[in-house]
Amino acid sequence: MQLEFVRIEEANDLINQLIEHHPHSIFLIDIDFKIKFYNKAFQKLTKTDKSGILEHEFCDIMGCTKHNQGNLGAGNNQLKDLLSGSLSELTLIRNFNIHNKIVTKHLRIEGHRVIMNEQKFRLVIIEDRTQKH
């Protein structure tokens, strides 16, 4: 099935609705790892109110920790590689500090390069498999 749109706004509205209601967490980061867009599932995963997400770094929200080894910037890190574009997908079982509580999450994460208005972004999709294991 191929959809045809009369106006570009119609296509944008459809894409926005699909992303907003997608069951997986979706967010868009810039080259400084700051979140520029996210959907409801991401807000639910992070348990963060709206004001605490936009323009914040992913690990400021998720409290990235790995067995007390520090944050995302510490050492060679697969998540950092995915967010920077060195990896395109990753399965990750690790601890996150969410609202001062250490939570072990089993995540499947995909990263996709996006260029808009000549700026580079990463579209990240997170499937939270924690409940399934």
pLDDT tens profile 7-64: 788 878 888 888 999 999 999 999 999 999 999 999 998 888 888 899 998 878 876 6
Helix H or strand E encompassing 23: none
CATH of the domain at 127: 3.30.450.20
Task: Tell me, yes or no, whether 1 lies in a domain.
Answer: no
pLDDT tens digits for range 78-125:
888 888 898 999 998 888 777 788 888 899 999 999 998 899 999 999
Is 120 part of a structural domain of the chain? Answer: yes
Q: Tell whether 2 is covered by a domain.
A: no
The runs of H, that is alpha helices, within 21-77 are 40-46, 58-62
pLDDT class of 3 with cuts at 50, 70, 90: low
Residue 72 lies in a domain: yes
Judge whether 39 lies within some domain: yes
How is the beta sheet containing 25-29 ordered, strand by strand?
35-38, 25-29, 119-128, 101-116, 89-98
* Cα 89 to Cα 106: distance, rounded to the nearest angstrom: 14
- Domains of the chain: total: 1
pTM to 2 decimals? 0.78
In a domain, 3, yes or no: no
Whether 50 is covered by a domain: the verdict is yes
For residue 24, the one-letter residue type is H
Which structural domain, as residue segments, surrounds residue 80? 8-132
